[in-house]
């Protein structure tokens, strides 16, 4: 069973240690930037999006907890932004630790998150999936998410 708890300040650096290189790799892969350029961009974007870390107003950083025997085991992260006016949430990041993947925790987390936000009065979950992330796209599509648009880009040189 998956549950959620707010990320503690002392866990934020570990989150950044995972998130920044992972996001930089996505930026590099999808936008043709060098790894160094992508890393700088990832650091800049996270600083702008979460200027106060776990205490940033309007953002929610959660630790994913899976029941293991009589205790809970930290198995991943979920970062989302609620929009109370539109009754929606936008998932910025969802990650199951590599050692915990392949156990059905992704689908279980999506179901649990649906319930978690529904009881808070939200009616829709939105997110963006990188074009080359087939595993994530499969997870979301098999969980009932539909494509609402396609992001495209072109690098102009010269």
Within a domain: residue 153?
no
pLDDT of 1-12, one tens digit each?
Answer: 999 999 999 999
Q: Report the number of distinct structural domains present in the chain.
A: 1
pLDDT < 70 positions in the chain = 158
Residue range of the domain that includes 15: 2-142
User: CA–CA separation, 101 vs 90, rounded Å?
Assistant: 23
What pLDDT score was predicted for residue 134?
A: 87
Within a domain: residue 104?
yes
What pLDDT score was predicted for residue 91?
A: 97
What pLDDT score was predicted for residue 149?
A: 84
Instruction: Please state, in angstroms and as integers, the Cα–Cα distance from residue 151 to each residue in 128, 129, 131, following that order.
Output: 9, 9, 8
Within a domain: residue 16?
yes
The CATH number given to whatever domain includes residue 78 is 3.40.630.30
3-state SS of the chain: helix, strand, coil percent to 5? 40, 25, 30
Within a domain: residue 89?
yes
What pLDDT score was predicted for residue 58?
A: 97
Question: How many residues in total does the chain contain?
Answer: 158
What the block records as the tokens of 85 is 């006016």
């Amino acid at each position: 069973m998956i549950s959620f708890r707010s990320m503690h300040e002392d866990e934020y650096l570990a989150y950044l240690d995972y998130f920044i290189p992972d996001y930089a790799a996505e930026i590099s892969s999808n936008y043709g930037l060098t790894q160094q350029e992508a890393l700088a961009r990832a650091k800049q974007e996270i600083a702008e999006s979460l200027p106060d870390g776990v205490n940033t107003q309007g953002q929610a950083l959660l630790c994913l907890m899976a029941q293991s025997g009589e205790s809970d085991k930290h198995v991943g992260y979920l970062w989302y932004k609620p929009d109370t006016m539109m009754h929606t949430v936008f998932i910025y990041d969802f990650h199951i630790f590599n050692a915990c993947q392949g156990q059905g925790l992704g689908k279980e987390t999506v179901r649990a998150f649906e319930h978690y936000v529904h009881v808070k009065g939200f009616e829709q979950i939105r997110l963006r999936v990188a074009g080359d992330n087939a595993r994530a796209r499969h997870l979301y599509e098999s969980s009932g998410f539909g494509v609402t648009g396609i992001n495209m880009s072109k690098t102009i040189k010269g």
